[in-house]
Amino acid sequence: MRRVVLKLSGEALASPASDETIDASTVDFLAREIAGAMQRGGLELAVVVGGGNIWRGATGAMAGMNRANSDLMGMLGTVINALALQDAIESHGRATRVMSAISMDQVAEPYIRRRAVRHLEKGRVVIFAAGMGNPYFTTDTPAAQRAAEIEADIVLKGTHGGVDGVYDEDPRVNVKASRFDEISFDEVIARDLRVMDMTAITFCKDNRLPLRIFDLMAPGNLGRALDGHAVGTLVQ
Ligand code: UDP
């Protein structure tokens, strides 16, 4: 794997151990994993970070807010998370750039595909913020879409809640649920397995973009996934 997009949820930055929206030691752990993984020569890593620890558009919409407005709040949440992650990764000695899909010149660079690729080629971790800049999406879809756009080899979706891959049933409901080592996009769609938003799944399928779902919070797992080890589930 040469060029990789890592999707991590906003909630991965929080911690059950503290009631902080962004838990400093959790962000530091993630940054260490990312900076450590970057020691692999030739690896180019872009991160798409979610915002669910701060705001989800659907939550506001359910409470009667205008959906597009509520989604904008969600996208701004991803920018806050991106800055937290940037700070932490740089404290581990790795250069980063935050590129936002919504212009905010004083905060982040605008997303420009060619510029993003150049940063990656120079070994900088690129953090994509504000999703795709469009409401009615979650950050799963921009993870897949940006991956296609920058010609990444794979999308790695890091989980954080203990579910470490794709299961035939929800393992939090049925302890006997079994995990797939590998599964096709068609089967994920046919069984309606909620591993990622369906829009992102169909996008990956249509664009022949492999996807690995794995537990990001297990130390060393990101490196193992990057080395092509069979952690979690490979969807292709
Ligand atoms: N969002 C959006 N368009 C995008 C990406 C995100 O409108 O392209 C909004 C949407 O409201 C979403 C929120 O940003 O609920 C936070 O992203 P997400 O729910 O994906 O966060 P995660 O669950 O990954 O933490």
- The confidence score (pLDDT) of residue 227 equals 94
Tally the residues of the chain: 236
| Atom number in ligand 1 closest to CA 142 | 8
Mean pLDDT of 130-157: 98
23 CB under 6 A from ligand 1?
A: no
Q: Domain count of the chain?
A: 1
135 CB under 6 A from ligand 1?
A: yes
Backbone φ, ψ for residue 150 (5° rounding): -95, 10
Question: Which band of pLDDT confidence, cut at 50, 70 and 90, is reported for residue 146?
Answer: very high
User: Ligand 1 mean position to 130 CA, how many Å?
Assistant: 8
Mean pLDDT of 44-73: 98
Is residue 228 packed enough to be buried (19+ CB in 10 Å), middle (13-18) or exposed (0-12)? exposed
- % of the chain with per-residue pLDDT over 90: 92
Residue 1 has pLDDT above 80, yes or no: no
Evaluated on CA atoms 102, 106, 107, 108, the torsion sign reads: positive
| Atom number in ligand 1 closest to CA 141 | 8
158 CB under 6 A from ligand 1?
A: no
Q: What is the CATH classification number for the domain harbouring 7? A: 3.40.1160.10
Report the interhelical angle of 24-37 vs 67-91 (nearest 10°). 70
More confident of the two residues 87 and 228: 87
Can you state the percent helix, strand and coil of the chain, rounding each to 5? 40, 20, 45
Containing structural domain, residue 112: 3-235
Residue 210 has pLDDT above 90, yes or no: yes
